[in-house]
Amino acid sequence: MVAPTPRPIATATISTAGCVRPNATPGVSATPDVADITAAARASRISGIAAIDVSIDRSGNVTDAKVARSTGNDGLDASAMAMARNASYTPQYVRCKGIAATYTFTVRFVAW
């Protein structure tokens, strides 16, 4: 009697080879050029910090953005929003897989 030839069994494994940081928070990978600041915003001579909450998908693409903390000046907030939307992001990683997340992009404006 001849023993049957063993059949290979298909198994799936998650490879983390090449995954440098299996768990990482989202971040900015490239900052944009400074957005145009309106003449009215410049004339106001207001300083402040704008915080923009940026929603990013699992690939790092911006899906939404909103002002989380205002400078008190609509023109400066609009400039900060444009910069946040035009930045490039890395997504959040959990066990080497990108997931959707929120990143807070901040811009400090100093009266000039």
In a 10 Å sphere around its CB, with 0-12 CB exposed, 13-18 middle and 19+ buried, how is residue 30 labelled? exposed
Q: Where are the domains of the chain?
A: 27-109
Residue 78, φ and ψ in degrees, nearest 5: -65, -40
Q: Are 52 and 66 in contact (CB under 8 A)?
A: yes
Which CATH class for the 27-109 domain? alpha beta
pLDDT score, position 8? 55
pLDDT score, position 48? 92
pLDDT score, position 111? 77
pLDDT score, position 33? 82
pLDDT score, position 2? 64
Report the sign of the C-alpha dihedral through residues 20, 29, 67, 48, in that order.
positive
Q: Rounded to whole angstroms, what are the CA distances from 36 to 3, 18, 42, 55?
A: 78, 40, 10, 23
- Does this model's pTM top 0.95? My answer is no
Blockwise average pLDDT, block size 10, the chain, 112 residues: 59 58 91 82 87 97 98 93 95 95 95 72
pLDDT score, position 97? 94
